[in-house]
Amino acid sequence: MTTMVAPPTAPDTRTSRVRYAALIAKVLLFALLLTALIWPDLSGIKGKASGARLVVYPLGAMVLPLWWWAYGRTRSKLHHAFPWPADLLLTLPWLIDLLGNRLNLFDTVTWWDDAMHFVLWGFLTAGALLAFAPRNLSLAVTAFVALGFGTTAAVIWELGEYVAFVRHSPELQSAYTDTLGDLALGTLGALLAGLLLHRLAFRPKAN
């Protein structure tokens, strides 16, 4: 008797695509980090706390896999499989930031920095919520959690930038205005990510 093998379902195919996208994003990120280490003059991050970025960026991209390996995989009631969509969302901000610096977009495109603070904080917040937040949160609680995470992350980032290179650069004169704008855009991006995620993934399904 011939055994019929059912074709992969749509969710399985979608999961595979997201998994491959997350792995490719990590490979590209580490390739860019390696080239920045070997050829710092071509990295686009020279003079922009390149040493700190070479440490923080891989940690940011690997925090979810490391957490999953150490602790998350035992929580079978919460996660039945590794959360690849969350992993992709948590990797993209570091990759896109490095690409933007490598292509010199932050210094040549006037709106690029503002757009990145809005979009990348949205990705980061969505990834964190998708990985760690319960699925039964109300809209209000989801918004508060998104704001709490996104705003805190934005403040830590701005403090890190100031300590690492802004205080010793010509940007210091305009740093206050720029920082306020970055914090506002990052917060708005985080809030929008929380609201969208609640609508797409957190709402209880009707019986």
The per-residue pLDDT for range 156-203, each reduced to its tens digit, is 988 887 777 666 666 666 667 778 888 899 999 999 999 999 988 876
Distance CA 19, CA 58 (A): 18
Least confident of 70-79, 119-128, 169-178: 70-79
For residue 65, pLDDT beyond 70: yes
User: Which amino acid is it at 71?
Assistant: Y
The residues, any chain, with a CB within 8 Å of residue 81's CB and separated by 6 or more, are 15
pLDDT in tens, 80-107: 688 999 999 999 999 999 999 999 999 8
Selection from 86, 85, 90, 95 nearest residue 17 by Cα: 85
Collapsing DSSP to helix, strand or coil, 121 comes out as helix
User: Which amino acid is it at 160?
Assistant: G
Torsion 107-22-202-140 (CA) sign: negative
Distance CA 192, CA 207 (A): 27
CA dihedral 179, 180, 183, 189 (to 10 degrees): -120
Q: Mean pLDDT over all residues of the chain?
A: 85
Q: What percent of the chain has pLDDT over 90?
A: 56
pLDDT score recorded for residue 113: 92
The residues, any chain, with a CB within 8 Å of residue 66's CB and separated by 6 or more, are none
Whole-model pTM: value is 0.83
Collapsing DSSP to helix, strand or coil, 81 comes out as coil
pLDDT score recorded for residue 46: 83
What's the alpha-carbon Rg for the chain, to the nearest Å? 19
Angle, vertex CA 118, rays to CA 114 and CA 154, nearest 5: 95
Instruction: Report, as an integer, the average pLDDT of 64-71.
Output: 89
Instruction: Report, as an integer, the average pLDDT of 49-66.
Output: 91
Maximum Cα–Cα distance for the chain, whole Å? 78
Instruction: Report, as an integer, the average pLDDT of 69-75.
Output: 74
